[in-house]
Amino acid sequence: MLQNLGKIKKVDLREVWKNEALDFTNWLAREENLSALGDEIGISIKLNQTEAPVGKFSVDILAEDENTGKKIVIENQLEQTDHNHLGKLITYTSGYDAKIAIWIVKDVRDEHRQAIDWLNEHTDDDANFFLIKMELWSIDNSLPAPKFQIISRPNNWTKSVRKGLSQIAMKELDFLSGFVSYCKEKGSTLKLSQPSSSAPAYYQISTGTSKWTIEIKINTQNNTIKEDVSFKDKDLFYKLRDIYKREIEEGLQHKPIWDEMENFKSAQVGVSESFDIDDMDLWSKHYEWLRVNAEQFRKVFGKYIKKALRTSQNAKKEKEDNK
């Protein structure tokens, strides 16, 4: 029996974003939208600044790769590509010594696509240019949904992550890439980016703050995989351990090890299990273990970190009031 189907239609960008700078750039600069762009490209994009100065000019968005710290410039143009914006993109990339340049446009002229292709072919691996067509689509009367369509990308983008990697490192990269895909298939709300080839045995999951992160560490020598909550602020670690340890452990499926890492500035709380990277039949089992732990870490630690920070702020305020 045939079912009724909706009609998909393209929505003009100006219906949603009247002003390129005030509307579109501010929309794109939001964490969730940069994350969607990063997912399409395969990197984790963190905002540094909008309208960042370059001499007398300013780049729409200055950002960085959250995993590598490499600078990213984003030039927006809700019109057809032109020479002016191409020149700006190159100027901003040079001005900030950015390793990734992203040009987001409404429509693409062939000569500008060819120009971006030429740049990718004739610059070294440290310069990567993306030309992306911005689209909005709706089904029947639904709200318009954004879509980033990559028109041009570096020729070696998908291959470069493997350049110079050992067989073990390539397996580690494959495993972590598979974990990202697994979480997306399961509908996980974890903020995930593509793993970095510079550290294929290590993966960081953003928590939205620099105070703490969730980290995955593969150790093929000891045949273990470890998942930690890592604290740059040891005082925060001590507050959680000394005040909320019992409540935190009750909220987790696996009892963690609290490691103050005496000779280091950071501290961590984590769990580990046996892991044979060559046994690919068990990868899905490990993916589920990692996903469950990470989601519980984010929820439980997030709750008590907020409490600990709130307590510290109140104590500081009370001390100032009593002066």
CATH number of the domain to which 127 belongs? 3.40.1350.10
DSSP 274: E
Given a contact cutoff of 8 angstroms between Cβ atoms, the answer to whether 286 and 277 are in contact is no
Given a contact cutoff of 8 angstroms between Cβ atoms, the answer to whether 25 and 15 are in contact is no
Residues 224 and 113 in one domain: no
What pLDDT is stored for residue 314 in this prediction?
65
Domain membership of residue 3 (yes or no) is no
What pLDDT is stored for residue 2 in this prediction?
53
Alpha helices, DSSP H only, in the chain? 13-16, 26-28, 31-41, 83-95, 110-122, 157-160, 167-185, 234-243, 245-250, 283-321
**Total number of domains in the chain:** 2
Closest CA to 74 of 132, 122, 149: 132
- What pTM, to 2 d.p., does this model score? 0.57
What pLDDT is stored for residue 162 in this prediction?
54
Last residue of a domain, one of 136, 157, 178: 157
What pLDDT is stored for residue 87 in this prediction?
95
CB-based contacts of 90, cutoff 8 Å, min separation 6: 101, 119
Given a contact cutoff of 8 angstroms between Cβ atoms, the answer to whether 248 and 304 are in contact is yes
Given a contact cutoff of 8 angstroms between Cβ atoms, the answer to whether 19 and 83 are in contact is no
Residues 271 and 309 in one domain: yes
Last residue of a domain, one of 157, 177, 200: 157
Instruction: Give pLDDT < 70 ranges for the chain.
Output: 1-3, 125, 156-165, 312-323
Could you tell me the residue range of the domain that residue 81 belongs to? Answer: 9-157
Dihedral over Cα of 90, 74, 76, 123: its sign: positive
Q: What confidence tens digit (pLDDT) does each residue in 217-267 have?
A: 999 999 999 999 999 889 999 999 999 999 999 999 999 999 999 888 899
Residues facing 150 on adjacent strands = 132
Tokens encoding 264: 């280091």
Interstrand relation of 57-65 and 71-80 (parallel, antiparallel or unpaired): antiparallel
Tokens encoding 43: 């990197």
Closest CA to 188 of 180, 196, 177, 200: 180
First to last CA, the chain: 78
Last residue of a domain, one of 114, 136, 157: 157
Helix %, strand %, coil % of the chain (to 5):
40, 30, 30
Residues 60 and 182 in one domain: no
What pLDDT is stored for residue 3 in this prediction?
67
Residues 112 and 215 in one domain: no
Domain membership of residue 4 (yes or no) is no
